[in-house]
Amino acid sequence: MMIRGLQGAAEGFRSLPPALSCEVARPIGCSEKSFSEALLRFRAVLLALDTPHGRRVLRLQEMAAGFGVCVRTIYSWRHAYLVYGFSGLFRTSRCDRGRTRLITASDLAVIADTVPRLRARGDLKREWKSSGLACSYASYKRWVRLIQNRLEIAEIPLRKELNGSSH
């Protein structure tokens, strides 16, 4: 039952026992390659779910070798299917797609200029949004913390109680 590549995905999918196969419609805007990959993952998930507990490890090792992935990947596909259904088997793009994860010297200068202005909890995100930098918020935050540590600036002051004492 080992299938190599995407070409055999459809044929292998059709060869499943009737109890494990079902008609799956291709989503609108989905490429043929993406759909074939999802079908291949679906087949692996169905076979993994159908395997008895005592034989699962050996069967998944054989399947992983046949699909050219590691066993952990098949477990990840299984989890994605159980949580999100068939749509969980499609590849998704990163949420920061199109944003650079590199910081230029000019971006670093802008970040260094904003560090002294950070006084309250909401300042960090507000400064990042207003800066218009192409880097992600996580990169911006990491660089702010590094600069604060180098300059030995307190990160964010503690919130004061109404009577003036801090906790």
- Answer yes or no: do 46 and 81 share one domain: yes
Looking at the structure of the chain, the number of domains it has is: 2
- Answer yes or no: do 37 and 79 share one domain: yes
- Answer yes or no: do 117 and 70 share one domain: no
Q: Is the pTM of this model over 0.85?
A: no
Domain that holds residue 129: 105-151
Which burial class, exposed, middle or buried, applies to 158 when counting CB atoms under 10 A from its CB (0-12, 13-18, 19+)? exposed
Q: Answer whether residue 160 is part of any domain.
A: no
Q: How many angstroms from the chain centroid is the CA of residue 147?
A: 28
- Answer yes or no: do 30 and 77 share one domain: yes
- Answer yes or no: do 16 and 61 share one domain: yes
- Answer yes or no: do 82 and 120 share one domain: no
Q: Answer whether residue 81 is part of any domain.
A: yes
Q: Is the pLDDT of residue 4 over 50?
A: no
Determine the pLDDT at residue 95. 72
Q: Answer whether residue 98 is part of any domain.
A: no
- Answer yes or no: do 127 and 60 share one domain: no
Determine the pLDDT at residue 31. 81
Determine the pLDDT at residue 59. 92
Higher pLDDT, 132 or 19: 132
Band (pLDDT 50/70/90 cuts) for residue 104 is: confident
- Answer yes or no: do 58 and 25 share one domain: yes
- Answer yes or no: do 84 and 23 share one domain: yes
Q: Answer whether residue 44 is part of any domain.
A: yes
Alpha-carbon distance values, 12 to 16, 40, 43, 60 (Å) = 7, 8, 8, 16
Compute the distance between CA of residue 153 and CA of residue 147 in angstroms, rounded to an integer.
8
Q: Answer whether residue 134 is part of any domain.
A: yes
For 32-67, write each residue's pLDDT tens digit. Answer: 888 888 999 999 999 999 988 888 889 999 999 998
- Answer yes or no: do 33 and 81 share one domain: yes
Q: Answer whether residue 60 is part of any domain.
A: yes
Q: Answer whether residue 32 is part of any domain.
A: yes
- Answer yes or no: do 82 and 144 share one domain: no
